């Protein structure tokens, strides 16, 4: 007996139709629907049967369902009112839906001290969400995230190509670009290529009390790339040049770089 068109309809398309939902540009919604990519992301996350996974932005829940087959518990944080109401009706029992802004949550308070993060991050606020995850105390053991390809490559860059983003990410962990994802894996299809990055977190090299000072130095150093480092730091940090020169000399860095 032939299947009806509704029975043959992909799950993501059926959910969009049932919700009467059009992806929101304001929320940066590009829903992942390619099941081959979904499985690859889930398998890359290193999830064990006793693990808790924090997913940011479950969208239509396609990746969430895959994560739920691997993890003991999935906590999915969704900002969209319509999706937050709908998803609990279709997701497995080991998925908890939290209706919240990922920029305002305290990850350990939601999921406990031992967890993994998996996310298809919106391009517009992806870096801000990533920073919140990395700065959490305690942070996740690892993050497997999808971002714009250029952003992924900047995260994993090595000297002399490092940027503020690379330093910010590598201060907290070891990023590695796993694979690229074309626009056809999303609805609507973005005009840019995406990539999946895995970040294994590690203890920062400085005590927490020194983090703010470290990043002030980093921001000052990147403020004016074409000027000599000694001049840039003394201006950006409001410290006299002789003191900056002495500190750079002690670190083995020329002030003329």
Q: How many CA atoms lie within 13 A of 160 on its CB side?
A: 2
24-47 residue pLDDT tens: 666 667 888 889 999 999 999 999
Per DSSP, helices labelled H in the chain are 5-8, 11-19, 35-44, 62-70, 81-86, 107-111, 126-134, 149-155, 164-170, 211-222, 229-237, 241-250
97-106 residue pLDDT tens: 999 999 999 9
Least confident of 110-124, 125-139, 146-160, 179-193: 179-193
CA dist 135 and 225 (Å) reads 27
CA dist 125 and 56 (Å) reads 12
CA dist 244 and 25 (Å) reads 46
104-137 residue pLDDT tens: 999 999 999 999 999 999 888 999 999 999 999 9
**More confident: 5 or 96:** 96
54-70 residue pLDDT tens: 999 998 899 999 999 99
Look at residue 96 and tell me whether its pLDDT is greater than 50. Answer: yes
CA dist 149 and 9 (Å) reads 30
**More confident: 166 or 256:** 166
CA dist 245 and 253 (Å) reads 9
Examine residue 188 and say whether the peptide bond preceding it is cis (omega within 30 degrees of 0). yes
Residue 89, C-beta contacts closer than 8 angstroms, at least 6 positions apart: none
**More confident: 237 or 79:** 79
Mean of the pLDDT values across residues 170-177?
97
Look at residue 9 and tell me whether its pLDDT is greater than 60. Answer: no
Look at residue 145 and tell me whether its pLDDT is greater than 90. Answer: yes
Look at residue 3 and tell me whether its pLDDT is greater than 70. Answer: no
pLDDT of 26 reads 62
**More confident: 232 or 79:** 79
Considering the chain, what is the average pLDDT of its residues? Answer: 87
């Amino acid at each position: 007996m032939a299947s009806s068109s509704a029975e043959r309809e992909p799950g993501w398309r059926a959910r969009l139709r049932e919700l009467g939902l059009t992806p929101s540009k304001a929320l940066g919604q590009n829903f992942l629907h390619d099941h081959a990519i979904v499985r690859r992301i889930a398998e890359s996350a290193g999830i064990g049967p006793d693990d808790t996974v924090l997913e940011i932005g479950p969208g239509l829940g396609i990746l969430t369902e895959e994560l739920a087959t691997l993890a003991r518990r999935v906590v999915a944080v969704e900002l969209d009112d319509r999706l937050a109401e709908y998803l609990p009706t279709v997701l497995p029992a080991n998925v908890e839906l939290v209706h919240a802004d990922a920029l305002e949550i305290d990850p350990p308070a939601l999921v406990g001290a031992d967890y993994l993060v998996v996310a298809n991050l919106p391009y517009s606020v992806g870096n801000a969400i990533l920073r919140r995850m990395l700065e959490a105390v305690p942070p996740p053991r690892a993050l497997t995230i999808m971002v714009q390809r250029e952003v992924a490559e900047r995260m994993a860059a090595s000297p002399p190509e490092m940027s503020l983003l690379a330093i910010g990410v590598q201060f907290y962990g070891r990023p590695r670009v796993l694979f690229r994802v074309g626009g056809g894996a999303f609805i609507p299809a973005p005009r840019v290529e995406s990539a999946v990055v895995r970040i294994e977190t590690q203890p920062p090299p400085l005590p927490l009390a020194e983090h703010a000072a470290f990043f002030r130095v980093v921001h000052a150093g990147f403020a004016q790339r074409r000027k000599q480092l000694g001049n840039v730091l003394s201006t950006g940090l409001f410290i006299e040049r002789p003191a900056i020169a002495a500190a750079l000399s002690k670190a083995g860095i020329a002030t003329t770089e």
